[in-house]
Amino acid sequence: MIAVLDYGIGNLRSAEKALVHLGADACLVTDPEVVAGAQGVVVPGVGAFGPCADALHRSGMREAALDAVDRGVPFLGICIGFQLLYEGSEEAPGVKGLGILDGTVRALPPGVKSPQMQWNQLSRVGSSESVLLAGLGEQPWVYFVHSYAPEMTDAVVATCDYGGPVVAAAERGRVCGTQFHPEKSGAAGLAALSNFVSFVDACANGAPTRASTGDPDRPSNA
Residues involved in catalysis: 79, 181, 183
CB-CB contact of 18 with 183 (8 Å)? yes
What are 141's strand-pairing partners?
121
How distant, in Å, are the alpha carbons of 51, 61, 90, 156 from that of 102?
A: 21, 20, 14, 11
**Region label for 69, one of left (φ > 0), alpha (ψ between -120 and 50) or beta (otherwise):** alpha
DSSP 10-50: S--HHHHHHHHHTT--EEEE--HHHHTT-SEEEE---S-HH
The values of phi and psi at residue 201, to 5°, are -60, -45
How deeply is 54 buried, as exposed, middle or buried, from its count of CB atoms within 10 A (0-12, 13-18, 19+)? middle
